[in-house]
Structure formats: structure tokens, C-alpha cells
A = this chain, B = another copy of it.
Amino acid sequence: MAAPTRARLRPEERRAQLIGIGLRLLTTRPIHEMSIDEVAAEAGISRGLLFHYFPTKRDYYVAVVRAGGDRLLLHARAPEDGAPGERVRGIVDGFVSFVQRRRDNYVAVVRAAAGGDERVLEVFEDNRRVLTDRMLDAAGVHDPTPLHRLAVRGWLAMAEEMAIGAVDDVITTTGLVDLLVSALEQVTERFTPRST
């Protein structure tokens, strides 16, 4: 819900509004074609005021991609307690449901990260590291080796690709979650005996 044009917003509301506009515009064009003037115009503020919140165009892009990643992290969470199986399933279900509910937006943020500059890419990498650690922790791998991390990163790439590509008549969300949970189990089991 966009705030009314030219409304007086508190700083944190204005920031959130500007980022929301960026996330929406990303679904229509690559990040490097997104114009700061357009964002400011949509928010009903001056270009100067936008630069008050984000000193450079790059700062703004970084904030938009980070916000997209943070939303994902908010959804892809494990229940606080529960057996490893349930905790893994909680994250996977959150991840897949999130991607599928806002597919265009998710794809746009991933493309923005890939096509962006080093700082944008770094934000994306940080997000992947957090998600990888979270998966490993939920799976009960408390002292992960580099090989564990590599395998979970690979698994994440698969999960992302399949969640984006899966449409209802091919596989249900539940079916996909089952598949990904069992693939993750295979991956972590395979490495644990060898690497400890």
C-alpha cells in the first residue's frame, strides 16, 4: 500500500516506501535501468530528498536488494523447537512458499543481484550465507565443514530454481517441499561421515 503522494512520512516510513517502490519497479526492468527520478516521482518527493535517505544511486540499489533478501529470511525460518526434520521442513516450506507467492519479485531481486555491482552482489552473498547456516543448524550439522557449506549452497540453488519453475500442474508446493527436504537429507548425510 503506497502512502498518499506528498504525504509527510516519518524517516523510517519514507525509507520503507522508497524501497517498496524499488522492489516493485524491479519486476519491470533491470536494476541498472531503474531511474532515481522515477522512484522519487512515484514517491511524490524530490530527487534531492531521495538522496537524503540514500546518498548515492548505488546505496539505494543495495538497500532494495537487501530488503528483498531480508523478506526472504523473515519467511524461511525454522520453528524454535522441534526435531531436526521439522525444523528443516519449516525453513524449506517458508522458502518455497515465499518464492512462489511472489515469483516475479523474487526473480527480479535475484537478477538485480546478479546484474548489479560488487556491493549488491555482496549483499546477496551475505543472504545466502545466513540461509546456509540456518539450514545446517536446523539439519543438526553443528560443526559444518566447507564441503557441507558447498553442498547446502548447491542445494539452495536447486531449491530456488525449482521453486521458481514449479507450477501447480507439475508439482504441488507440498510435493516440492517433500522432494527438497529429502534431497537435503541426502546431501548432509553423504558428507557427514566423510568429513568428521
Give A residues with C-beta under 8 Å from B. Answer: 30-33, 110-112, 114-117, 146-147, 150-151, 153-162, 165-166, 169-171, 179, 183, 186-187, 190
The contact of A158 among B30, B114, B157, B170, by CB within 8 Å, is B157
5 residue pairs from A and B, CB less than 8 Å apart: A32-B33, A147-B171, A153-B165, A183-B183, A186-B186
Whole-angstrom distance from the CB of A156 to the nearest CB of chain B?
Answer: 8
Chain B residues with Cβ below 8 Å from A160 are 157
Chain B residues with Cβ below 8 Å from A110 are 114
Chain B residues with Cβ below 8 Å from A179 are 151, 190
**Bound Cα distance from A115 to B185, whole angstroms:** 33
Copies of chain A in the complex = 2
Whole-angstrom distance from the CB of A64 to the nearest CB of chain B?
Answer: 15
Whole-angstrom distance from the CB of A136 to the nearest CB of chain B?
Answer: 15
**Bound Cα distance from A146 to B151, whole angstroms:** 25
**Bound Cα distance from A150 to B159, whole angstroms:** 11
Whole-angstrom distance from the CB of A84 to the nearest CB of chain B?
Answer: 20
What 7 additional pairs, Cβ within 8 angstroms, besides A114-B114, A154-B161?
A147-B170, A150-B165, A150-B170, A153-B161, A154-B159, A157-B157, A158-B158
Task: Contact check, A158 vs B150: say whether CB atoms are below 8 A apart.
Answer: no
**Bound Cα distance from A170 to B146, whole angstroms:** 6
Task: Contact check, A30 vs B116: say whether CB atoms are below 8 A apart.
Answer: yes
The contact of A166 among B32, B114, B150, B157, by CB within 8 Å, is B150
**Bound Cα distance from A171 to B195, whole angstroms:** 10
Chain B residues with Cβ below 8 Å from A187 are 183
Q: Top 9 nearest A-B pairs by Cβ distance?
A: A115-B115, A114-B114, A157-B161, A154-B162, A158-B158, A154-B158, A157-B157, A146-B170, A154-B161
**Bound Cα distance from A159 to B159, whole angstroms:** 12
